[in-house]
Structure 1
């Protein structure tokens, strides 16, 4: 063993921190990118934002006037020419948006407290009711026992039971229940349904209803399977989670399409959604700092230059993100014209490699570009990733294969048109598809059926 020095030559990809950040920004959704921009604006005082009113351009491939190495004297002139300024665009005569006065959503707790305030009961009883309301869980159930509540409030169990009955009389139906069975029975009572068989089924046979095993219920109650299924239909219409639909305190994040696909004169156009991401500019106040700091305060001058570099990088990265997404969408539209024209049945098998080869980018870049991004089409909002599907070999189509989405559409169509008294098994569906020229196995049929949340034949049967 000995120590020695050797020279070697090797190729290695070294990614700078900026390159890594640019890749991360490419795969961000609109909401994530907005959050990132907000964070950058807090740290960089030179950044300003304004939302575009409406983009008049279809293509976003613009010539970028920024260079990696910045001549700051020329850069200041460039900003003056482009009129990047820190102006206040607010005008006193501007109309105030009516959306500013829209109230926030009412929570379940507030809804129940309002109902409590409308009834005339003793203050002591109202206090117990409020305690019960405060302790309801996310489903609208009461997890605490009557004994525990009585001990915590130092009152009798009868008073707690009376207070619980008051809360259970409120809307939504089934609120304040201590179990699923009690929740369903409360709803039946409020609907003035007092059939003993229904209450018995709720207590003893909820699992049988879930498994569509109506013969077991019929045998137990000495009724026909058809009657048992009719009881099951009534129970299935009840709400197992009374809190559903109420504001839970979490902000709802709506889907924001990154682009609009419009058909004009038989041709598809891509309109990038400029409103989804703020348009960034650079604050002109930096000029005074640089001019005053020349030869005097090197630290201030260096700080401003670093922030300018950071701001320019962010602006360039956002533009590059839009440009890459535009290129990907352009190729997708060329590839899937029939889908955009006629619907999901005409969706062709398409992989990341198919698009990556056409735009001469790596598959991972395409994957990042479409991650959590949506487009608005004539058929509604579509997740871009859903347009990439695998293929199933087919003998009757002109192409070598058809997409899995098309096969799912065929399966759904067969199930919708089946005889409900004798539903199609997975093997029968497989045989029917194979007779139409599709090479598909029973396991694949079962997999696609489960992905579409279609129950098995035994659970779809109607008596």
Structure 2
């Protein structure tokens, strides 16, 4: 057997995701709140970086063009082509109120009550054991052991806690939470307490016939009790800051109409403006220690790329919002009914950028408009063919039709998904039963069996 070795050159296309590319993508999809935290962390880790507020030198005092000559990477910065929000009256933060801590709110109430000092102390101790839902995660026996007091003393303190606002606070579980609220409403019917204790799942499944039979009451009466229970709050802490919540909304921009023209005003007041510390420039010019110079160069490279990525993020979001305002002008003028079908891909083609760039740039981001704070993603709507018409209808319009149909139905005989589908076709909307079910669930409308009223 003769073995031959052959040397050949082949061309291969390969995408390599560098660390800088990863950081750029990561920054693009960050929300304003995430950007604040990320930049703060970068400032702590990179001594080259500082905020403009800390910098005593003006930005123009640093000769960046000269400085960049000493760096390994070549950065090309273009002028910003977007509006910056420097006006306090248009800041979306004007419309967002600060959340009060739940525990602070509870302790304030305890202090104002006419209680003995020992009982106040015990109540405040118990408040510290209330979790993010508003439930007490330590039972009364353990509390009594920890504090070396009688269980009756703990029960007295718990009675005080249960009397506080918000209703239901301090229950050890959902059942006790709901019972506390019923007590506060002075509801004494034993049947409603039995439903809370034993039939919550049956109530959720609309099985009032089963509940009625077991409690020996009418179906209508069982359903009336169910309606009362549904008005109660299963999570008493809702609306308060608990220390675990991170879902604040900080709109990326304000879309404002001025003289019949819409402007995109970027909301970047809360994002720290970055500078490069001038002190390190001298190290590059004067320091003969190669390791020190290399360290500073690396840190400046990193800092410059961060600044570039932040600017690029803001520019990309601005371009997307500007194009959205242009395409969806009728929506901003006249409302949801006039929202045009538009996909991420279509907008990406208009801007000559990749679809994934648009997707990342709008992810979990909001804008403030004259119609309130809206999710940017909601301005993208897929279209559905409408019979006898050449154009498409947005899914938003279809969903509104479904909602209207459900609201007008006989609650004793609610429409099935197939019936809703048939009614939509009568209105020239070409949609399948499966799609009706999907949109109904997205609208958080229950199935026909769970909508039935007795």
> Do both share a fold (TM > 0.5)?
yes
| Contact 1:260–1:273 (Cα < 8 Å) also in 2 | yes
Aligned match for 2:232, one of 238, 242, 254: 238
Q: Deviations over 1:249-268 (max 9, x none)?
A: 23555322222222334333
Aligned match for 1:199, one of 193, 196, 203: 193
Aligned match for 1:347, one of 323, 339, 349: 339
Aligned to 1:94: none
User: C-alpha displacement at 1:229, in angstroms?
Assistant: 2.6
| Contact 1:257–1:276 (Cα < 8 Å) also in 2 | no
User: C-alpha displacement at 1:211, in angstroms?
Assistant: 2.4
User: C-alpha displacement at 1:440, in angstroms?
Assistant: 0.9
| Contact 2:110–2:123 (Cα < 8 Å) also in 1 | no
CA distance, structure 1, for counterparts of residue 367 and residue 317 of structure 2: 11
Aligned to 2:441: 450
Aligned match for 2:69, one of 59, 64, 71: 71
Aligned match for 1:278, one of 248, 265, 272: 272
User: C-alpha displacement at 1:276, in angstroms?
Assistant: 4.6
1:237–1:369 distance in 2 versus 1, CA, 3 Å: closer
CA distance, structure 2, for counterparts of residue 446 and residue 342 of structure 1: 29
Which stretch shifts more, 304-313 or 185-194?
A: 304-313
User: C-alpha displacement at 1:146, in angstroms?
Assistant: 5.0
CA distance, structure 2, for counterparts of residue 356 and residue 236 of structure 1: 44
| Contact 2:110–2:124 (Cα < 8 Å) also in 1 | no
Aligned match for 1:26, one of 25, 28, 37: 28
CA distance, structure 2, for counterparts of residue 188 and residue 425 of structure 1: 35
Tell me whether 1:263 sits opposite 2:263 in the alignment.
no
Matched position secondary structure for 1:274: coil
Q: Deviations over 1:156-212 (max 9, x none)?
A: 555554554444344443334344333333322222222233333333433333223
CA distance, structure 2, for counterparts of residue 148 and residue 301 of structure 1: 61
User: C-alpha displacement at 1:450, in angstroms?
Assistant: 1.0
TM-score where L is the length of structure 1:
0.77
TM-score where L is the length of structure 2:
0.78
Pairs within 5 Å for 1:309-328: 309-328=301-320
Aligned match for 1:45, one of 31, 44, 47: 47
Pairs within 5 Å for 1:222-233: 222-233=216-227
1:404–1:303 distance in 2 versus 1, CA, 3 Å: same
CA distance, structure 2, for counterparts of residue 26 and residue 141 of structure 1: 38
Matched position secondary structure for 2:50: strand
User: C-alpha displacement at 1:449, in angstroms?
Assistant: 1.0
Matched position secondary structure for 1:226: helix
1:139–1:11 distance in 2 versus 1, CA, 3 Å: closer
CA distance, structure 2, for counterparts of residue 31 and residue 390 of structure 1: 29
Aligned to 2:422: 431
Aligned match for 2:180, one of 186, 189, 209: 186
Q: Deviations over 1:393-440 (max 9, x none)?
A: 2125551x2222221122122223333343332222111111111111
Q: Deviations over 1:3-23 (max 9, x none)?
A: 664333333344543333323
Pairs within 5 Å for 1:324-335: 324-335=316-327
Aligned to 2:59: none
| Contact 1:112–1:170 (Cα < 8 Å) also in 2 | no
Aligned to 1:175: 169
Matched position secondary structure for 2:414: coil
| Contact 2:331–2:338 (Cα < 8 Å) also in 1 | yes
Aligned length: 420
Q: Deviations over 1:316-347 (max 9, x none)?
A: 22222222222222332333222222222222
Q: Deviations over 1:56-91 (max 9, x none)?
A: xxxxxxxxx977993369xxxxxxxxxxxxxxxxxx
User: C-alpha displacement at 1:221, in angstroms?
Assistant: 4.8
Aligned match for 1:418, one of 409, 418, 429: 409
Aligned to 1:82: none
Matched position secondary structure for 1:275: coil
CA distance, structure 2, for counterparts of residue 267 and residue 103 of structure 1: 32
Aligned match for 1:6, one of 2, 5, 8: 8
User: C-alpha displacement at 1:362, in angstroms?
Assistant: 1.9
Aligned to 1:93: none
Which stretch shifts more, 377-386 or 241-250?
A: 241-250
CA distance, structure 1, for counterparts of residue 289 and residue 120 of structure 2: 68
User: C-alpha displacement at 1:446, in angstroms?
Assistant: 1.2
Which blocks of at least 5 consecutive residues in structure 2 are unaligned?
54-62, 72-93
1:181–1:312 distance in 2 versus 1, CA, 3 Å: closer
| Contact 1:321–1:369 (Cα < 8 Å) also in 2 | yes
Aligned match for 1:389, one of 381, 384, 394: 381
| Contact 2:36–2:272 (Cα < 8 Å) also in 1 | yes
CA distance, structure 1, for counterparts of residue 207 and residue 191 of structure 2: 16
